[in-house]
Structure 1
Amino acid sequence: MAPYDRLRTGGSPRPPRAGDTWWYAAVAGEAADSFSTRVRTRTRRACLGAVLLLTVVYAGLVLTATGRRWSDAAVTGRRADTRVAEFLRDHPSLAGAATLSLVLACVLLAGLGLLRKRYALTGAAAGAVAVSLAVAGLLQGYAPRPPAADAGALPPSGFPSATATLAFGVALGLALVTPRRPRGLVVGAATLWAVALGAYSVAAGDHRPGDVIAAALLALAVQCGLIALLARRGKVRPGPRHGTVLRSLPATLPLALLGAGGLAAGFLLLGDTLGLPATAPYDPAELRLAHRCGQALAAGVGAAAGLVLLALVRHVDLDGGPAPYRLGGPFVEDSGAPEQGELVGPFTENRDHEIS
């Protein structure tokens, strides 16, 4: 096969390398083993997995009586947890600080992208946050759920939480507009902030733990779907494989410990809190245990969502398209290239050759 032939379907999977032509480089991006294809496959699978987990959480915590009883107990248990009640009572300004942090996070997402002149990626990240909020609103308004037995005793179910969806959407969206080297540090720190904001909303009684869990999974699904779309359009390229682990360790290590510890503690406590009686009165100790279990699960899932996204884009450069390929072959001398460093086309000036 001639060096400038376009590969046929099922043809040679020869990987692209420096010296190949732009013609072959464009075709190689469509190969089954190309970098863009691998990124698209991984992120698409992560998106589908997050959607599947979101469906499981919805079916288990919203549609079943046991799940609804556990969620209500987790919200009610905040009053039985004296440490949480005293902390919120001693810090009444946390509600305003949470709202202000959401505004500043949105400004950071937009400002960082605009300062780096990544206008398309900034629009994509903002669009992903908007899509997440729109899907959350549709689920809150139109997803079927049984009517609450006592609507005045507890806040209505907001599955998923719009506040947590915005927080996790912004935190994960920073992966698009942040330079690759500090990406792990920035996204990890932002994910820790989103987890803390979700924990506050549960402790304040504004949302149930399942609402925060669903928000983290929804933001992860939308972000993975967006990266898969960028990979399909050829907007990703491989980045250096060294020099980023130690830089991001101050944020990723606490995030990993929080994710592993939260999920382990949550599942251990879950078996002791699912056996609540169908009717009141409840034991305050059981309610307190349910609240702590819900907090642990919500924190673990939120931290895991950030770690999954960082793992998916660890070696991926999202700042632009594929790296340019330089021409190599028998037509370099005939093309009249003035310098070796310039990119030239595969055809000679007289264009008297043909591709076999």
Structure 2
Amino acid sequence: MASYDRRTGGSPRPPKAGDTWWYAAVAGEAADSFSTRVRTRTRRACLGAVLLLTLVYAGLVLTATGRRWGDAAVTGRRADTRVAAFVRDHPSLSGAATLSLVLACLLLVGLGLLRKRYALTGAAAGTVAVSFAATGLLQRYAPRPRSTDAVGALLPSGFPSATATLAFGVAFALVLVVPRRSRGLAVGAATLWAVVLGAYSVAAGDHRPGDVISAALLALAVQCGLIALLARRGKVRPGARHGALLRGLPATLPLALLAAGGLAAGFLLLGDTLGLPETAPYDPEELRLAHRCGQALAAGTGAACGLVLLALVRHVALDGGPASYRLGGTFVEASGVPDQGELVGPFTENHDHEIS
């Protein structure tokens, strides 16, 4: 634990009237403190998301079976007549998806500025930027087999999906800027929107299901990493334990049903779609099943990531500083605390004490 001794250049933060910053700092480092528990949970979630992202990359990008399944899922959109007809009859959806991404970014920043949470707004925008930058680095530098089109040109990588990364990044960043009582409703609805955008990108043939799955995991990892950092710095505090769950139920309940149903259906269909032959021709029914399997897994994973994030911050208030601490009793009287106004730490007048 870092020293807070005034004689050896301890924390330079000046004390504020109404709280004892030195006690809050020491209490935040305790093994069973609220900040430590939040930091531990979010750090583990971040590492778990990175591990799952690595497994998705290894299974769906580096293996021939995974690449064949992803290609079949994209090709199967043509075999699924309802999906093909919907995309063909609504060509304006591509522009609407781009417009919704722009509006979502503006909404994220606008909400934070409107609530005067400038630091958290910057942090939220930073998580979106970091997720997007990590996506670009992975697309450019992550090792993968080289794919070429019919004329021999190298095809650009779509792992992870930039569109889905941006959508999930904005959705998950809302936990920092919306009020805690509205967090479940706002983040749940935004996650559903991100899932829809991911499903459309797969149906339009722009991305494989694995690209959307990896985008959701990447956005979750970055967001959990930021919350762990905030907890490390003592910027979290306990929130009210009642009321928020019911307010968010209109969004979180469909999200839970989508997560459970999508993952269950996807894994059930996965066994029937992995045994595709190495070369064409393929059975149209198998391609259709592969497309539906990919859509189910992508939607279920995206919804599950949103639920995990909401569960991690369910009782955590991120829009304020740590809880104030005040001492009283004979110890404070012996330490020379003035009767009115100014509040000092646990140091007597000769400053011959230290906490380390």
Alpha-carbon shift at residue 277 of structure 1 (Å):
0.4
CA 260–292 in structure 1, closer or farther in 2 if over 3 Å, else same: same
Residue deviations 1:14-53 (CA, integer Å, cap 9, x gap): xxxxx99654332111111111111111000000000000
Match of 1:140 in 2: 139
For 1:23 and 1:75, the matched residues in 2 are separated by 57
Match of 1:203 in 2: 203
Alpha-carbon shift at residue 92 of structure 1 (Å):
1.5
| Contact kept in structure 2, 1:21 and 1:328, CA below 8 Å | no
How many residue pairs are counted as aligned between the two chains? 336
Residue deviations 1:101-144 (CA, integer Å, cap 9, x gap): 00000001000000111111111111111111111001101111
CA 182–243 in structure 1, closer or farther in 2 if over 3 Å, else same: same
Matched to 1:225, the amino acid is G
Query: Tell me, what secondary structure is at the counterpart of 2:324?
Result: coil
Match of 1:97 in 2: 96
For 2:329 and 2:97, the matched residues in 1 are separated by 60
For 1:151 and 1:141, the matched residues in 2 are separated by 22
Match of 1:117 in 2: 116
Query: Tell me, what secondary structure is at the counterpart of 1:117?
Result: coil
Query: Tell me, what secondary structure is at the counterpart of 1:181?
Result: helix
Match of 1:35 in 2: 34
For 1:317 and 1:151, the matched residues in 2 are separated by 54
| Contact kept in structure 1, 2:28 and 2:234, CA below 8 Å | yes
Matched to 2:227, the amino acid is I
Alpha-carbon shift at residue 78 of structure 1 (Å):
0.3
Q: Provide TM-score, normalisation by structure 2.
A: 0.89
1:173 aligns with 2:173: yes
CA 262–343 in structure 1, closer or farther in 2 if over 3 Å, else same: farther
Match of 1:255 in 2: 255
Residue deviations 1:208-249 (CA, integer Å, cap 9, x gap): 000000000000000000101111111111111111110000
Q: What 5-or-longer segments of structure 2 have no aligned partner? A: 6-17
CA 146–352 in structure 1, closer or farther in 2 if over 3 Å, else same: closer
Alpha-carbon shift at residue 326 of structure 1 (Å):
1.7
Match of 2:49 in 1: 50
Match of 1:265 in 2: 265
Q: What 5-or-longer segments of structure 1 have no aligned partner? A: 7-18
Query: Tell me, what secondary structure is at the counterpart of 1:344?
Result: coil
Identity %: 83
Alpha-carbon shift at residue 335 of structure 1 (Å):
3.2
Matched to 1:138, the amino acid is L
For 2:86 and 2:67, the matched residues in 1 are separated by 27
| Contact kept in structure 1, 2:79 and 2:287, CA below 8 Å | yes
For 2:338 and 2:47, the matched residues in 1 are separated by 50
1:315 aligns with 2:321: no
For 2:99 and 2:343, the matched residues in 1 are separated by 52
Matched to 1:67, the amino acid is G
For 1:285 and 1:200, the matched residues in 2 are separated by 21
Aligned structure 1 segments of 4 or more residues deviating by more than 6 angstroms: 152-155
Alpha-carbon shift at residue 55 of structure 1 (Å):
0.4
CA 151–306 in structure 1, closer or farther in 2 if over 3 Å, else same: farther
1:324 aligns with 2:324: yes
Residue deviations 1:76-120 (CA, integer Å, cap 9, x gap): 000000000111122121111101100000001000000111111
Match of 2:245 in 1: 245
CA 190–353 in structure 1, closer or farther in 2 if over 3 Å, else same: closer
Match of 2:235 in 1: 235
Match of 1:276 in 2: 276
Alpha-carbon shift at residue 343 of structure 1 (Å):
6.8
Match of 2:9 in 1: none
For 1:346 and 1:328, the matched residues in 2 are separated by 12
Question: CA-atom RMSD, angstroms?
Answer: 2.3
Query: Tell me, what secondary structure is at the counterpart of 1:36?
Result: helix
CA 343–295 in structure 1, closer or farther in 2 if over 3 Å, else same: farther
| Contact kept in structure 2, 1:125 and 1:176, CA below 8 Å | yes
